[in-house]
Structure 1
């Protein structure tokens, strides 16, 4: 048999049709939107409704809305009544955070790198706003340069890992020191903290300090010591059975009584304590769910290696449990970030409280929609950043994969 006969008997490989964008798009539209007369009718109806909504929204946003209310009260929405002469402290803190973000992105890349890029993007957008002061533009430009420089310095510098973690740990007391003064600078009371600054501080304190408390409560609920177990169960069930707004009122009214006479606790600290205690109870249940998802064989394998309870939990069980409940934990943190708007009912003015005060001003009557949309966009940006970081962390750790 010659080569020509062999060639005729062998099956020819199938050739893929060339890529045709228009044909592929039309095929997708027909399959998903116009596959039957019912789907075609629904597509037309919802298409018309979407067109009308989008058109009306664009016309209102760019031609009808009075955004002067935002430009006139931008500083108030961001930092509340913090004195204008002391704003350099806030800029110093933001610059220090930019340094740490840049170094961290250069060292670890990944999720922190994407968040650093988003941070630089926000600096750029804010610097381009027409109503931003010249001094603010200078500070924003400095922070952009600091981000880029710190990234270049921290790139693949493994020796910076431990000092950088320590620096992140010390960042919170440094921020509180700059904000308050503590005798070194002019004292700025927490009653002047407000706007988005207050929202961010309360949520960050609740997230950072509730994590170790919730972890201990979750372990305590599984403890073999009756006193520890029943105390943890009682605390968790009590806090989870009471609304957050009630916890805030209790923290405002009862906390000074527990501290005794002569110890004055301002309203911001009381709100932080209330949010921390509330978040810790829910976080404990999330972590307990992660602990229950770990197979019994993991406990037995750790015990067979001769590990005591502390080492077994620290190095074997907890890493797996926390990895399994990352979505639930981040979802809780996002909820707490949004729930900070409840501090308005206890006399504090977060960004939503400032917005409500602005629209009650006779000069800005009828601007409710503009103010609330601005507040909603701020929450949307930061909540989506937290959600994005969570998804990236899940992918990096292989959550849901074996």
Structure 2
């Protein structure tokens, strides 16, 4: 008989030892993300050297040696001076409103405020009342905004679109293009997948035609060639022509994005909709399109960002958008200086970056909220 001895078994738990200092905390994060391999270590060192080389001059130009307060460009012309932000502040009204009469700019401000009040709850996914909110934003708001901006009724002074400009025109073209092009793109995508030869052929011809032509050409055609085809004495507003051209151009690209989402769905989804007795439109609206659009949110938002940036191209047909107002102000002799134009372009780039980055982050947020169907 063998007697086992348990003298080696501990009767007390060993005190918990701290984790190695090189695997947790800031040092551990650096080892894992920045210095995990020799190649990553080399790239990290090169990145740090690039920042050391680029950040100090940029800081000095944009902030350290920049001119923030001045009555004219004399201070900005001092040797060693950086960005002339005083020039931006002096011309900020022109950059936002263009040639819109100063005493009537309150109408533009009301449009801005109403737009923010309506679009924030529309983008807030958890808030109820989306149907009413959508009707107010997509139907009522455009009518109210047009009446306020154009005037001519209710005692408002008439302000033709030739006097609109700056950030106001950029937002009008960008938002209108986004709102109008998405439903047109969805209809074109459905038409391209239609079993009816006529609808399918017309959809393909429309999409391929607009995708094969540069946007600059579209704007030139809308501005120069379109008046040649309308009856004598009839004129079409220049801004309206640009809106139509930009919207249809973007719709052709969105149609292909949406078609990719439709093709990504398994055939079983279509068969399940048919098995439930749903007709074509109910199956598309209730089952197919919600899933397809969820899959292609990055592509849709990417098209929206490209559209918003392409609004700067309307300047070539004489519309004073944000970029055109900045460019025309760079010749102001009162603020003439070596960095006047550069500061203006940096300001325009910052404005475009804010709007485009906001759309990108909201896209990521929406993807995460709607990604419930793929969680395990």
Band the TM-score falls in, shorter-chain normalisation: 0.7 to 0.9
Deviation per residue, 1:296-338 (Å, 9 max, x gap): 1111111111111111111111111111111100000000000
Which residue of 96, 100, 106 corresponds with 2:118?
A: 100
Matches of 1:225 and 1:39, distance apart in 2: 55
Contact residue 239 and residue 281 of structure 1 kept, 8 A: yes
Matched, 1:333 2:304: yes
Matches of 1:16 and 1:51, distance apart in 2: 39
Matches of 1:376 and 1:352, distance apart in 2: 9
1:400–1:192 Cα change, 3 Å = farther
Task: Determine which structure has the larger helix proportion and give its number.
Answer: 1
1:94–1:303 Cα change, 3 Å = same
Matches of 2:292 and 2:35, distance apart in 1: 46
- Tell me which residue corresponds to 2:220: 249
- Tell me which residue corresponds to 1:269: 240
- Tell me which residue corresponds to 1:138: none
Contact residue 22 and residue 31 of structure 2 kept, 8 A: no
- Tell me which residue corresponds to 1:86: 104
RMSD, aligned α-carbons: 2.9
- Tell me which residue corresponds to 1:285: 256
Structure-to-structure mapping, 1:73-152, within 5 angstroms: 73-101=91-119, 108=124
Matches of 1:59 and 1:313, distance apart in 2: 56
Matches of 2:94 and 2:86, distance apart in 1: 14
Matched, 1:213 2:214: no
Deviation per residue, 1:116-156 (Å, 9 max, x gap): xxxxxxxxxxxxxxxxxxxxxxxxxxxxxxxxxxxxxxxx7
Structure 1 or 2, whichever has the larger Rg, is: 2
Contact residue 324 and residue 399 of structure 1 kept, 8 A: no
- Tell me which residue corresponds to 1:150: none
Shift of 1:28: 3.7
Matches of 2:141 and 2:184, distance apart in 1: 20
Matched, 1:164 2:133: yes
1:284–1:303 Cα change, 3 Å = same
> Gaps spanning 5+ residues in structure 1: where?
111-155
> Gaps spanning 5+ residues in structure 2: where?
66-81
Contact residue 323 and residue 399 of structure 1 kept, 8 A: no
- Tell me which residue corresponds to 2:318: 347
TM-score w.r.t. length of structure 1: 0.79
Shift of 1:8: 2.8
Shift of 1:11: 11
TM-score w.r.t. length of structure 2: 0.84
1:217–1:103 Cα change, 3 Å = closer
Matches of 2:14 and 2:46, distance apart in 1: 45
Matches of 1:65 and 1:338, distance apart in 2: 24
1:308–1:330 Cα change, 3 Å = same
1:98–1:291 Cα change, 3 Å = closer
- Tell me which residue corresponds to 2:361: 388
